[in-house]
């Protein structure tokens, strides 16, 4: 086997699965990013609501 054939074989063996798995990797990355962004927005909204709903403490 020549060096060129070996390099092509390695590229196909490594690149084939990588190309097939890339959409799944991108989908997972996108969903995790969306989940983090949504969770951050929910936490900010809940903190804002808690600040508004917090009763004022009476001083003695």
Each of the 60 residues of the chain gets a pLDDT tens digit; together they read 888 888 888 888 888 888 888 889 899 999 999 999 999 999 999 988 887 776 667 666
Residue 30 is predicted with a pLDDT of: 93
Q: How far apart are CA 2 and CA 17, in angstroms?
A: 23
In a domain, 26, yes or no: yes
Q: Work out how many domains the chain is built from and give that number.
A: 1
Whether residue 10 is contained in a domain is answered as no
Q: Is residue 56 part of a domain?
A: no
pLDDT of residue 40: 97
Q: What angle do CA 34, 37, 41 make, to 5 degrees?
A: 135
Contacts of 11 (CB under 8 A, 6+ apart): none
Can you give the pLDDT at residue 38? 97
């Amino acid at each position: 086997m020549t060096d060129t054939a070996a390099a092509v074989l390695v590229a196909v063996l490594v690149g084939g699965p990588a190309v097939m798995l890339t959409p799944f990797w991108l989908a997972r990355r996108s969903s995790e990013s969306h989940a983090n962004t949504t969770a951050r927005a929910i936490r900010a909204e809940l903190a804002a609501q808690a600040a508004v709903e917090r009763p004022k403490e009476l001083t003695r």
